[in-house]
Structure 1
Amino acid sequence: MGKRMRQDEEEDAGEEALRKAGEKLPSQFKNKQKRTAAYEKVKKDKSIEKKKRIKLRDAAEKQALELGEAPPPRKAQRTIENTREQDETVALPDDDELQADEGLDEFSSHFSRERVPKLLITTSQECSTNTRKFIKELLTVIPNTYYYKRRSYDLKQIVKYASNREFTSMFVVNENRKNPNGLLVVNLPEGPTAHFKLSSIKLSKKIKGHGKPTRHMPELLLNNFTTRLGHRVGRLLASIFPQDPQFKGRRTVTFHNQRDFIFFRHHRYVFEEKEVKEKAPVVPGDDSGKKSKKSAPKTVTRKGVIARLQECGPRFTLKLQSLQAGTFDSKYGEYEWVHKPDMDTSRRRFFL
């Protein structure tokens, strides 16, 4: 995406240079062959100019390093993320008002370690095999999780049942055409309730080289939840996992927000020994000018410990559809935020 934006900028700059020079633009030629030839010429000139700029930049960096100075900063690449529309609800880390609100919200008891997370998972009334397989993997990722069949109970009855048995959260996995496509997350007993669109599910068996996690408490990572709404959704997701990770198990669970898509990943750290090959110093030849066999470069093998990530699975993507105050109530519930089609007016407008 950044590459395409850069190409558009270069094309605009080329057209602007032609306008200033008083030359015809390629689009102004009526003959197709002349128009194509003019465009190819403009494209070639831009390529030559770009190579010159890169050569000058590299020379300036090399000169600065030789003089022991800091090289000139490179121009930052334009992306959709760093050109997003300004949002008044973006919260700074030292926002006193936000910290005061978080100290009194529905998740404060969880973050103050007053209660242990306990999750109930259920499904829609007709549950397929693919949904059961997905839930089976969720049970291995999230500690202290229990699965109950939906049967013919209403969601309000299940919410009441879970609250009476000291469950702190509830998942409802919905499906369409025998594939899971939605996730309802209910914080108990006071709410809120978030409805996510569920997509891009990949189970552990489909992930190449996947690992088998232990039963240690995982470390939770939340990335790029910057707005007020994002903070609230992030705290809702964080309330599902315990706040005391056991680093001995080397497990990490990540919710990464990018362009309002929340990517879920489950990894474990792996430390292993690896042989590293290094070139030995070259021995100079004799005075006769002939190179001896000893002067040939040799490689020395050394052992070193490296760290890498091994994905355990599953992986899936969430897209927030609505956030409702309180527990689930489809008729009389009050919604804090609802996604509507007319909100997608710009590709650079994000809500989380």
Structure 2
Amino acid sequence: MGKRNHLEHTEGRDQDEKGDEMSTKKPFPSYIKNKLIRSLQYAKLKTQKKNQKKIRRKERDAVEKQAVQLGEAAPPRRVPRTIENTREYDETVARPDDDELLAEDAVDEFSAHFNSEVTPQLLITSSRWCSTMTIKFIAELLRVIPNAHYYKRGSYEIKQIVKYARNRNFTAIIIIHDNRKEPNGMLIISLPDGPTAHFKLSNFVRSKKIKGHGKPTTHLPELILNNFTTRIGHRLGRMLASLFPRQPNFRGRRVVTFHNQRDFIFFRHHRYIFEEKEEASRSSNTNKGSEKKSKKSSKVKMIARLQECGPRFTLKLISLQHGTFDSKYGEYEWVHKADMDTSRRRFFI
């Protein structure tokens, strides 16, 4: 009996010690079973983190301000870790001082465009049986891309369209595919010698669905290509640039952007707006035998902002093929396969 009581006593003590350890190891509200108390504790913890972050920011700003006053260099700020800046090393990253890449650019299929020897002329069409939304998407493209012309597809094969466009000095063909009454694919064929790029198209938003959208003018837009870093991305960027004229008319303040992020190419269309804004400033005047009185004066300040014109859509490269479209005997430069998506930090464009 004595031994049994001793064992029960030690077990009870061990359980009490474990309970104390568990009570000290409960820093997160998820351990609390009561939903109301758990939500209150979570809100309290969130507020504490927010206040701590604010304190750290104030301390950092104070240190930087003191360094500026003393004429010293400010301490470097910590760079947050993101998927983009921790991407896997890629040997095909294009360098601006790469002589081999510059030599290839001088003789590739787009050299005539970048030497201003040709003016872009685009033929835009659709699949044989297209939906109303695809027609609306093509209408948006015609409003954005200069010198673009729509031709009804009919029953013509793509090779027949290529031959027709080449004989009439078109520089590129854009074919929009759809599925379930929504545009879901884009085929861009550069003429006369290719290459051909096939994209998956998604997240299409019409211009009138964008809140506060603007109406663009007919001026030639400025083109921005962002984050096309690899050899494939560099070639793809030159292909997209060949769709727009080389001499933008900055008076129209139109900007077309192709932004690559994690191999998704986001299309945006904006215009700059310059406005005059009055800023109220107070000045004090002192009169004899009277108190200080504040007097308001206004200053005119010029501000610039962006207004989105639309449309919005997203492209993801499926394949890049040498020459014009040939699904049977075509030679592919790059094809996306399922086994390529083994890492979230591996990008190809």
Q: TM-score, normalised by structure 1?
A: 0.82
Out of 321, 328, 348, the position equivalent to 2:325 is 328
Distance 1:54 1:327, change over 3 A: same
Partner of 1:212: 215
Distance 1:203 1:56, change over 3 A: closer
2:131 pairs with 1:128: yes
Q: Is the 8 A contact 2:274 2:304 kept in 1?
A: yes
Tell me the alpha carbon deviations over residues 21-73 of structure 1, each in whole angstroms, 9 at most, x when there is no partner: xxxxxxxx7999637624469x97x9598777656544433432332322211
CA distance in 2, matches of 1:55, 1:274: 30
Distance 1:101 1:283, change over 3 A: same
CA distance in 1, matches of 2:55, 2:271: 46
Tell me the alpha carbon deviations over residues 224-278 of structure 1, each in whole angstroms, 9 at most, x when there is no partner: 1111000000011011111111112111111111111111111112122111223
Distance 1:281 1:344, change over 3 A: same
Q: Is the 8 A contact 2:285 2:292 kept in 1?
A: no
Out of 247, 250, 254, the position equivalent to 1:247 is 250
Partner of 2:141: 138
Which structure 2 segments of 5+ residues have no match? Answer: 1-17, 32-41
- Report the identity percentage: 65
Partner of 2:224: 221
What's the CA shift for 1:106?
0.6
Out of 106, 115, 119, the position equivalent to 1:116 is 119
Q: Which amino acid aligns with 1:312?
A: C
Partner of 2:291: 292
- How many residue pairs match? The answer is 316
Q: Counterpart of 1:186 in 2: which secondary structure?
A: strand
Partner of 1:147: 150
CA distance in 1, matches of 2:143, 2:52: 56
Which structure 1 segments of 5+ residues have no match? Answer: 1-28
Out of 80, 83, 86, the position equivalent to 2:86 is 83
Partner of 1:203: 206
Distance 1:31 1:109, change over 3 A: farther
Select the structure of larger CA radius of gyration: 2
RMSD: 2.6
Partner of 2:23: 34
Distance 1:55 1:302, change over 3 A: closer
Partner of 1:184: 187
Partner of 1:305: 302
Q: Which amino acid aligns with 1:123?
A: S
2:255 pairs with 1:266: no
Distance 1:203 1:30, change over 3 A: farther
Structure 1 residue ranges, 4+ long, deviating more than 3 angstroms after superposition: 29-36, 38-41, 46-59, 281-287
Q: Counterpart of 1:183 in 2: which secondary structure?
A: strand
Q: Which amino acid aligns with 2:342?
A: T
What's the CA shift for 1:300?
2.8
Q: Which amino acid aligns with 1:174?
A: H
What's the CA shift for 1:126?
0.6
Q: Which amino acid aligns with 2:291?
A: S
What's the CA shift for 1:292?
3.4
Q: Which amino acid aligns with 2:23?
A: K
Q: Is the 8 A contact 2:123 2:148 kept in 1?
A: yes
Tell me the alpha carbon deviations over residues 52-105 of structure 1, each in whole angstroms, 9 at most, x when there is no partner: 765654443343233232221111111111111111000111111100001111
CA distance in 2, matches of 1:133, 1:49: 50
Distance 1:31 1:197, change over 3 A: farther
CA distance in 1, matches of 2:311, 2:58: 46
